[in-house]
Amino acid sequence: MSNPSWSYRADAALAWIRRSIEVTGGKGSAHSYSPLWGWAGAYPETTGYLLPTLLRYAEIRQDASLRTLAGTCQKWLISKQLPSGAFPGGLAGNVAPSAFNTAMILFGLRNPVEKTLAELENIRRSLERAVSWLLGLLEPDGAWRQAAYVPGFVPSYYSYAVWAVLEANLDGLWPEIPGAMRRALQFYAQRFQPEGTVSDWGLRPGPVAFTHTIAYTLQGFWESALLLDEKEILEKTLYAADRILQEHHRHGRLAGRYGPNWRGDYSFSCPTGNAQLSILFSRIGETTGEQTFKTAAKLFLGEAACFQKLGSNRNTFGALPGSAPFWGPYLRWRYPNWGAKFFLDAVDKTDGILQD
């Protein structure tokens, strides 16, 4: 197929997500697929934030089977919650609590899929326990330092966790959340640099970050600052987005990762990050009304779509690789489930694209 429609591409990504859940027996979405190592185990974190995507496409496509999948995964997620209220990091079977992963799973608990009173109560209690654990873990200065991916490292992409907690509180059940999350957001926002980058926004300590965590960081700031009416943080995020546009114009595409002063590594692309930045720029365009950001969002999505697999292999059809070329440094030799998830979200967020 020389020029697949966006609708076809979205259906392909949905087919791959279905496959990632099928291979676990319905117990979550597999972390990734690799032609070298096969399917990885189920990944609670990304299964959590995949659920809103499944529910959204169940509505768009009028497909009840997607809602059923979401319900099955939601039940499985709740079964993985630890006695403390936290959710574990890593793949299914791990029991070490993770602050960021717990926050991401809040997205999947925010909208109950099952409708019986007992099931609704079970989901509500799970959400409350997770939020309470995260609030208890937050330190007085607004940082989450415990239960980290890298012990002792406090990454700036935790701004995305701030957003998750705020979203979980849209009904106002926790009156303490706005103040606590404002403190947290301000803690991470102090890391903005004059040129628009953010220190420690990578997976590990250091000044270089994949576009995957750059997008986490900036969207976390944008969405949280909107909810908290933090105008200065909105302005700083908008400046960072402008700098990304400048670098994109200069080089003709997004780098796979950026360092200080937006020094890009163009030896590879990070399709997941491209899709995430597309989502961010769609949201900025939607909020500001500026067409420049909406146009950039479509360009970034196109850069992600270039690498979507559309062959006959069921294990890769619809997937996005971690890196392009496939041996690049981000998730080398693997197709992660969150790549397909963010691709679907980006397609949904881009004005009118599903009709193309």
Going from the first residue of the chain to its last (356 residues), give the mean pLDDT of each consecutive group of 10, the final group possibly shorter: 86 99 97 98 98 97 96 96 97 93 98 84 96 98 97 98 98 95 99 98 96 99 99 99 98 98 98 99 98 98 98 97 98 99 97 70
In terms of phi and psi (left: phi > 0; alpha: psi -120 to 50; beta: otherwise), the region of 53 is alpha
Q: Determine the pLDDT at residue 185.
A: 99
| Token pair of 313 as six digits | 């292999």
Pick from 234, 141, 235: which is nearest to 183 by CA? 141
Say if CB 136 and CB 91 are below 8 A apart: no
User: What's the start-to-end Cα distance of the chain, in Å?
Assistant: 15
Q: Name the 3-class secondary structure at 252.
A: coil
Beta-carbon contacts of 287 under 8 Å, excluding residues fewer than 6 positions away, are 222, 226
The pLDDT of residue 1: 52
Give me 176's structure tokens. 């303490």
* Burial of 285: CB neighbours in 10 Å, binned 0-12, 13-18, 19+: buried
Q: What is the pTM of this model?
A: 0.97
How many CB atoms neighbour CB 271 within 10 A?
32
Q: Which residue has the tokens 């299964």?
A: 47
- Please report the pLDDT score of residue 355 as a whole number: 66
Nearest CA-CA partner of 167 in 77, 100, 76, 228: 228
The owner of tokens 């939601």 is 74
**317-to-11, 314, 335 alpha-carbon distances in Å:** 10, 5, 10
Determine the Cα–Cα distance for residues 96 and 274; give it in Å rounded to an integer. Answer: 30
Residues 6+ apart with CB under 8 A from 78: 109, 122, 123, 126
Cα 77 from Cα 56, distance rounded (Å): 19
Supply the pLDDT for residue 170.
Answer: 92
